[in-house]
Copies of this chain bind each other. A is one copy, B any other.
Amino acid sequence: MPIITLLTDFGARDPYAGIMKGVILSIAPRARIVDLCHEVEPFQVGQARFLLQQSWPYFPKGSIHLCVVDPGVGSARRPLLVQAAGHLFIGPDNGLFTGVLHLKGARSRHLTNSKLFLKNVSRTFHGRDIFAPAAAHIAAGFAPAKAGPLVHDALRLTSGAPLRTGRRFFQGEVAHVDRFGNLITNLDSREYLALAEKGLLLRVGLVAVDRLAASYSEVPPDQPALIAGSSGFLEVVFNQASAAKALGAGVGAPVELEVW
């Protein structure tokens, strides 16, 4: 029985995620449900896309990733099913799946088969009425090919990609701040480390960081450092302290990378 992961902006103070699990288990009693994260900032599709991207590759093939960050619920935006890299992705067609749409062999379908939905579909909670039951039916064996027609214009977010602004200069941004206050940029660490002959210098706000560290614990106290983070991106970090607080930077803050 496949795994169904949940990624939403529902938070913890409401039973919305629990209700989706009730719907899933009513249809697919043996499904394995795993919470990825419910604390996406309300309506922040770009952040959800980023968190999904660093998570799904650690799940086994056949997993179904149910993502509901859905500012357009009840509007004309399509419900989507994406098959890519042996995984399935279900959620609104609003850019959440930008990171997997370009993968070789990826196919997207407009979820139109109402057999997959609850009988009464509200206009305010498609997580419960459309996405959860669709995921559950597919987990229980419903063929994705019958879910709806193929589409070739699923929405891709173009924001959030770094820009080259000079021979040695790149402009990026803080894509996520984790619980420890580490500033996780959208700059692929392998790519820029490969380009660098002497080193990297990253500017965020008024601060320039050029110390490269391999682990948090080797960073000197009260000093920022760059680290090739576990999610594959450059991070600005402190040792046991919050870079976000110390530097006054948050999600969306611009960063400039200089490659030596």
Contact = CB atoms under 8 A, between A and B. Distances in A.
Interface of A: 3, 5, 7, 9-19, 21-23, 25-26, 29, 32-39, 42-43, 51, 54-56, 58-60, 63, 71-75, 122-125, 128-129, 176, 178-180, 214-218, 227, 229-230, 240
Contacts of A7: 15
Given A26-B60, A215-B75, A240-B71, A15 B37 contact: yes
A73 B178 contact: no
Contacts of A216: 71, 73-74, 124
Contact of A29 (B55, B60, B179, B229): B60
Nearest to A14: B178
A19 B75 contact: no
Nearest to A30: B32
Nearest to A227: B124
B5 A217 contact: no
Contacts of A218: 74-75
Contact of A37 (B12, B55, B60): B12
B34 A215 contact: no
Contacts of A215: 73-75, 123-124
Contacts of A217: 71-75
A180 B58 contact: no
